[in-house]
Structure 1
């Protein structure tokens, strides 16, 4: 059964990446969207737990850290999809094992064998090929920056998840705390952005009343555009996207508990393939031979790392 759970998690996370990429190209308020994603996760986890009755142990406190790290990771991933190539951002969503293996060595003394070291060499070589591709442009470099942040904080989320399982935390209460924390952070960010946007509007109005044409302050990202989605539509869509997010986590945690960790990780990492296929065949992204070689090597390194960890 754990194999089915792992495959289902990979499918859910792949769908999440596709929805994030598609949504990032729409005139939508990012913080409100992600607030909806995490609000959905919170409500679903709490709602299911009403029927399952999983206990609330002390380990669920780790969900606070999971929520914080996931907040940063998801915000970075969404921003990366907005400014960079979908295939590159998707690649970095599959690279957190690099962070996890290094941190596991430092925290718990887990050593690397020869196959794991080989995997790291393959991954690094792949990343170097991508970084120094002749087709790499400034916008894609910016996307690479967000991809690296995504990799780092998804890795930290995984480490926090592992610590929570070591403390005996139940899946649904843990996810409720995690998503509740993320919803609070994104909701606060949205409120701050609205406040900044309103102040910007007041200053523009004051400048117009005074007859000044020299007001040049940069508008906040949340200033509405003529075609921008309404708050209700944005929130509703975010809650829909959140279903794929929380479903992936609900499937993944039992898979880790019941199955072989390395194999489960390898299967769940295959969510990257869904986004890569979407980028290649739907978005029609054209990649140079060097980028294709880098992506292939890096993906091969991910598979080796997860299979042999």
Structure 2
């Protein structure tokens, strides 16, 4: 059953990645969007637990770590989609199993097999091929940096989820604390950025100038606060759904395998980038993608 839960989480997270990429290309306040994602998660988790009445325990407090890691990882992934290639960012967002396998070995003694080590080096080779592509431009390098951060922090997030299940936390109480933590963090981030943007607008209003090409380009209407928050809450449905599936998968399955299966959400985003966005990639980038996906598959099948 845990295999089904992990697969369902992968589908939810893949849809989330597609929605993040699509939204990142719109004139929208990123922090307010992500605030909506976490408000949605908080409300859904609270309402669900009112119905399910899952017990609270000390293990649920790992939700604070989960919320912190999720805050950093989601912000990094969204930023990566805004400045880099969707397929490249999606690839890195699919690599947290590498982090999870290593940390699981350190914390819980989950031994790496020969095949797991082989998979690790296969994926590493794929990353090198992508990073040192001759066609790579500065904006894509920035995307890769955000992708690496996304990979690391999502890996830590998976580890904290596993640790909470080991500590006996029920799914919904831990998710409530996680989403409340994320809501507070994104709320503070949005409030600061909103105050700064209002201050900037007021300063500009003091200097009336004739319109030029630059100001005309900057006059693209942004989404309203209500529309942005509402869309974020809609996107948040995919996020909370994926987390609800991921918890029982980690509780019942082996850490590395569950993380690897859920990370296959990358396949949905790569297909979206290829068929809908019509992204062109160099031969070396394509080779790197293929080699890395093969590494993920080896890790999945042999963990």
Q: Distance in 2 between matches of 1:302 and 1:76?
A: 21
1:195/1:306 CA distance change after superposition, 3 Å: same
1:261/1:110 CA distance change after superposition, 3 Å: closer
1:78 matched to 2:78: yes
Matches within 5 A, 1:109-188: 109-188=109-188
Q: Distance in 1 between matches of 2:241 and 2:186?
A: 20
1:290 matched to 2:280: no
Q: Which residue of 2 aligns with 1:217?
A: none
Q: CA deviation at 1:113?
A: 2.1
Q: CA deviation at 1:101?
A: 1.8
Q: Which residue, out of 268, 273, 289, partners 1:279?
A: 273
Q: CA deviation at 1:262?
A: 4.7
Q: Which residue of 2 aligns with 1:47?
A: 47
Q: Distance in 1 between matches of 2:256 and 2:267?
A: 18
Q: CA deviation at 1:6?
A: 2.1
User: Structure 1, unaligned stretches of length 5 or more?
Assistant: 214-223
Q: Which residue of 1 aligns with 2:215?
A: none
Secondary structure, in 3 states, of the residue corresponding to 2:11?
helix
Q: Which residue of 1 aligns with 2:31?
A: 31
Secondary structure, in 3 states, of the residue corresponding to 1:284?
coil
Matches within 5 A, 1:94-105: 94-105=94-105
Q: Distance in 1 between matches of 2:116 and 2:3?
A: 23
Q: CA deviation at 1:296?
A: 0.9
Q: CA RMSD in A?
A: 1.9
Contact 1:262 1:307 in 2 (8 A): no
Contact 1:7 1:267 in 2 (8 A): yes
Q: Distance in 1 between matches of 2:258 and 2:205?
A: 57
Q: Distance in 2 between matches of 1:201 and 1:290?
A: 44
Q: Distance in 2 between matches of 1:260 and 1:192?
A: 41
1:202/1:131 CA distance change after superposition, 3 Å: same
Deviations 1:228-248 (A, max 9, x none): 000000000000000000000
Deviations 1:137-175 (A, max 9, x none): 111000000001100110110111111011000001101
Secondary structure, in 3 states, of the residue corresponding to 2:90?
helix
Contact 2:96 2:259 in 1 (8 A): no
Deviations 1:89-129 (A, max 9, x none): 00011111111122223333433221111111101100011
How many residue pairs get aligned? The number is 297
1:263/1:149 CA distance change after superposition, 3 Å: closer
1:246 matched to 2:230: no
Contact 1:27 1:225 in 2 (8 A): no
1:106 matched to 2:106: yes
1:202/1:261 CA distance change after superposition, 3 Å: closer
Q: Which residue of 1 aligns with 2:295?
A: 301
4+ residue stretches of structure 1 with deviation over 6 A?
none
Contact 1:115 1:308 in 2 (8 A): yes
Q: CA deviation at 1:264?
A: 3.4
